[in-house]
Amino acid sequence: MSATFSVSIIGGGYVGLVTGACFAYLGNKVTIIEVDEQKASSINMGIPPIYEQGLEKILKDTVGNRLTATTSYESVSTSDIVFICVGTPPNNDGSSNLQYIRSAAISIGTSLMNHPGYPVVTVKSTVPPGTCEKIVIPEVLGNSLKTANCVGFCMNPEFLREGRAIEDFLHPDRIVIGSSDKRAETILRTLYTSLNGNVICTSLTAAEMIKYTANAFLATKISFSNEIGNICKKLGVDVYEVMKGVGLDHRIGPHFLNAGAGFGGSCFPKDVSALISLAKEVGEDPILLRSVIEVNEQQPLKMVNLVKKKLGSVKGKKIAILGLAFKDNTDDIRDSRSIPVINALIQDGADVHAYDPMASEHMKTIIPSISYAESVSAALQDADCCLVMTEWPQFSHLSDEFSLMKQPAVILEGRRMLNRDDVEGICW
Ligand code: NAD
């Protein structure tokens, strides 16, 4: 049996909650510290405030014995390891807003003042290179009045995918541990002993940069595939046949080559923008990364242009949107490609009816002015056009439902999902 630890997690969002639940599942004593009281009490009732496959079951098994959530930082003063999992949203100029990181570091520092041992403060949030050294370490040491040899620091970026987060956390491709010293690195390595991932040990700054580089590369693969898809569409070539032939090359790999409406979510757009901002700060013009974002911003508008090409004016036309979440199996709508599409359609006077198995409530908070359907059929009933925007697996089984639309049905895909001949795709 591997060693177990007392762990505090700052921030109980997608990353913090999954991290906390998984470490509790692995036998550790975990306290999630969350400023949002409602989130904390929901976790304590075993109800996940977010949807993530398998999470509810882990909470049921661990809450009340090895897992608790609280708004108090008290547990930090006796924890072996403290994870920072707070958000790092973008500033208006695209750079990373580090105010939550700083505030968590200050609270951790204050709480560590009477810590009797050697706590390891570990950043899991995605932060620009230099953040641990310039913000986290000085704030923790300054507020705890401890010296550098009394507290360890690690940067342990998270690579989980929303919708498959538990699976990814428990079966990682690799575990990256950047550290301030060997002692801190060894403690974090021991925490991860029971997971079978390759462990890569680096400096703090290299670990910070690994996360940005990985996300920028994946986003680049998507924008590259979309650009090839746009060209293929004009040439009358099926981009999916092309990418199948391309992805079987082991130097390229088959993943992230699906052309479509572009990438969204809480990570790729903001992390690529933050990297662009960082590059500019150090006097580099990130030509490729700028193009990655530009292609991604054009893609949803291509979807809207396709609708107009098919319908002419969209004014007063009923447009069904299938899928609001930025990807399948999540209720997260952050930077979802449905948002610019819906906004453009509203602006042109369309009557938009949207359906998503999980994300409608979230979308209502930012776009209240459209109709939200309770089912695919309700969204499609008498619709002039249907846009498939999220790759929910259940959409691939739709068939008779399209006969509810005005005929002949205009069905357009932003994600290749439907096996029908009468469908047109954004890049196919
Ligand atoms: P989130 O917004 O879902 O969660 C952050 C949580 O931190 C919120 O619940 C917020 O209330 C809480 N919080 C903020 N300040 C706090 C404080 N001082 N003390 C306690 N709680 C505080 O964000 P997320 O999606 O979990 O992302 C967190 C970090 O992980 C970001 O840097 C993100 O880029 C990175 N990341 C996210 C994913 C993902 O798929 N969501 C994957 C890998 C990495």
Q: Is 97 in the pocket of ligand 1 (CB under 6 A)?
A: no
Report angle CA 299, 327, 292 to the nearest 5 degrees.
35
* Cα 342 to middle of ligand 1, angstroms: 27
Cα separation, 273 vs 325, whole angstroms? 21
Element (H, E) at 230: helix 204-235
Per-residue model confidence as pLDDT tens digits over 56-107: 999 999 999 999 999 999 999 999 999 999 999 999 999 999 999 999 999 9
Q: Which of 9, 10, 15, 91 for mutating ligand 1's site (highest number of atoms within 8 Å of CB)?
A: 15
Residue with tokens 């029908």: 420
CA atoms lying within 13 Å on the CB side of residue 352: 29
Q: Is 330 in the pocket of ligand 1 (CB under 6 A)?
A: no
Q: Is 36 in the pocket of ligand 1 (CB under 6 A)?
A: yes
Residue nearest atom 29 in ligand 1 by C-alpha distance: 125
Q: Is 356 in the pocket of ligand 1 (CB under 6 A)?
A: no
Strands (E), 296-360: 318-322, 351-355
Over the chain (428 residues), the average pLDDT of each successive run of 10 is 89 98 98 98 97 96 97 98 98 97 98 97 98 98 96 98 95 97 97 94 98 98 98 98 98 97 96 98 98 98 97 97 96 96 98 98 98 98 98 95 96 94 94
**Which class for 102: exposed (0-12), middle (13-18), buried (19 or more C-beta within 10 A)?**
middle
Positive/negative CA dihedral, 329, 330, 336, 341 = positive
Residues contacting residue 226 through CB under 8 Å, at least 6 positions apart: 259, 260, 262, 295, 296, 299, 427
Please state the φ and ψ torsions of residue 231, each to the nearest 5 degrees: -70, -45
Using the atom order of ligand 1, give the atom closest to the CA of residue 162. Answer: 40
Of 115, 116, 139, 123, whose CA–CA distance to 82 is shortest? 123
What local confidence, expressed as pLDDT, does residue 1 receive?
Answer: 53
Task: Using DSSP bridges, classify how beta strands 174-179 and 152-155 pair: parallel, antiparallel or unpaired.
Answer: antiparallel
Using the atom order of ligand 1, give the atom closest to the CA of residue 126. Answer: 32
Element (H, E) at 82: strand 81-84
Per-residue model confidence as pLDDT tens digits over 157-203: 999 999 999 999 999 999 999 999 999 999 999 999 999 889 999 99
Positive/negative CA dihedral, 246, 252, 258, 263 = negative
| pTM for the whole structure | 0.95
386 is annotated as an active-site residue: no
Residue nearest atom 12 in ligand 1 by C-alpha distance: 11
Q: Is 291 in the pocket of ligand 1 (CB under 6 A)?
A: no
